[in-house]
Amino acid sequence: MVKKGWIYAVLMVLSASLLVDEASAIPAFARKYRFSCSTCHVAVPKLKDYGEEFAANGFMLPKDQEPTRAYVRTGDDELLLQRELPIAIRFDIWAQLADRETAKSDFQFPYGIKLLSGGPISRHVSYYFYFYIDERGEVSGIEDAYVHFNNIGGSRFDIIAGQFQVSDPLFKRELRLTLEDYMMYKTGSRWASANLTYDRGVMASYGFDFGLDIFAEVINGNGIGEAQNRLFDNDNYKNVAFRASQSLGALRLGGFVYRGKQAIQEGIARISMIGPDFTLSLPKLEVNGQYLYRKDEADLPNSAVGKNIMKGGFVEAILMPKGDRSRWLLTSLYNWIDSDFDELDYQTLTLSLSHLAARNLRLVMEFTHDLKHKKARLSFGLVSAF
């Protein structure tokens, strides 16, 4: 088990963080528009509703609020050229104590360094990408990278083309406050590696005035590995996903469906996922939940059929004592996966305490208990963006 002395030490560090002044360095969009990170973010990287709307609008303010000083005057009305190329950096470090065979204590410095850029190409076309300069000691390259066509034909119809996470219309993994992940999204079955993390394809969305949002995705279904013989897809199949959600005041209810095929060594794996999700947003509390039922069927040699049923999801609660202006945030996350194959089973409970030492600097203490293997992990981290 994690030693109490380390817990006290981490608490002391968190307490000392109260003395840190707000940093002067701010991320790319805050530099461009000259407003605080708190305009869009509750805490790095979690977004407020305003931040979600800003991103959905192609990283631009409403037309009558967009500052002309942010763009070069070329004399060509058909050219929207940003005065400065927006670039930001995210820098994360973690230290960890855990019940495991080796490296019971580990300095994970740095855990990740990202180079990010995004903004408008034209009034209704924007881009976003980030390059992982260092991810757990390796150069991972580009993950998110897409072009966003916004308000097509003056409607609320959008199209995104590029690399993105299949689960983005549900809950964005990149915006979570915990080191512990949403595990059901990143877990494949015994037969097929396809999951709800990064893939290449097209995502279309439409929002109705009465609070209904719909998303449809067509993707390769094999992740974002490097091209083979100049081809990114490694089979003849395309996978599809659909999500609809309805806002009911503080409650949002959604449903998700995923269907597809993936070529595997034994033949073909047919993949289907379905499940509901919800978000309850109160001034000082946010609760998110996801349930997924996944069924994989694989054609095996000798006409046999392999099946894998997997059920799981997560429940996350975020307590913000002072609402979206909170300097302290407490997050709890329960992960659960139950599979026909025991090696895929997963069950953890996480408690994470965050403190904003500055608007773009978050200190974290996180405790995760592995309920399946009866083991514990204590992590202390620094998450920054500038």
**Fold classified for 4-385:** Porin (2.40.160)
**Residue 87 token pair:** 């670039």
DSSP code for 229: T
pTM for the whole structure: 0.90
Q: Distance between CA atoms of 349 and 228, rounded to whole angstroms?
A: 40
Q: Which pairing describes strands 141-149 and 251-264: parallel, antiparallel, or unpaired?
A: unpaired
pLDDT tens by residue, 17-28: 333 333 333 378
pLDDT tens by residue, 162-188: 999 999 999 999 999 999 999 999 999
Q: Distance between CA atoms of 50 and 38, rounded to whole angstroms?
A: 10
**Residue 125 token pair:** 């076309």
pLDDT one digit per residue (tens) for the chain, 386 residues: 444 444 434 443 333 333 333 333 337 888 888 888 898 999 999 998 888 888 888 888 887 788 888 899 999 999 999 999 999 999 999 999 999 999 999 999 999 999 999 999 999 999 999 999 999 999 999 999 999 999 999 999 999 999 999 999 999 999 999 999 999 999 999 889 999 999 999 999 999 999 999 999 999 999 999 999 999 999 999 999 999 999 999 999 999 999 999 998 878 999 999 999 999 999 999 999 999 999 999 887 776 778 999 999 999 999 999 999 999 999 999 999 999 999 999 999 999 999 999 999 999 999 999 999 999 999 999 999 99
CA distances from 69 to 23, 32, 40, 51, 154 (A): 25, 9, 21, 21, 25
**Residue 62 token pair:** 């409403």
Q: Residues with Cβ < 8 Å from 214, sequence gap 6 or more? A: 205, 206, 242, 243, 244
Nearest to 327 by CA among 275, 367, 362: 362
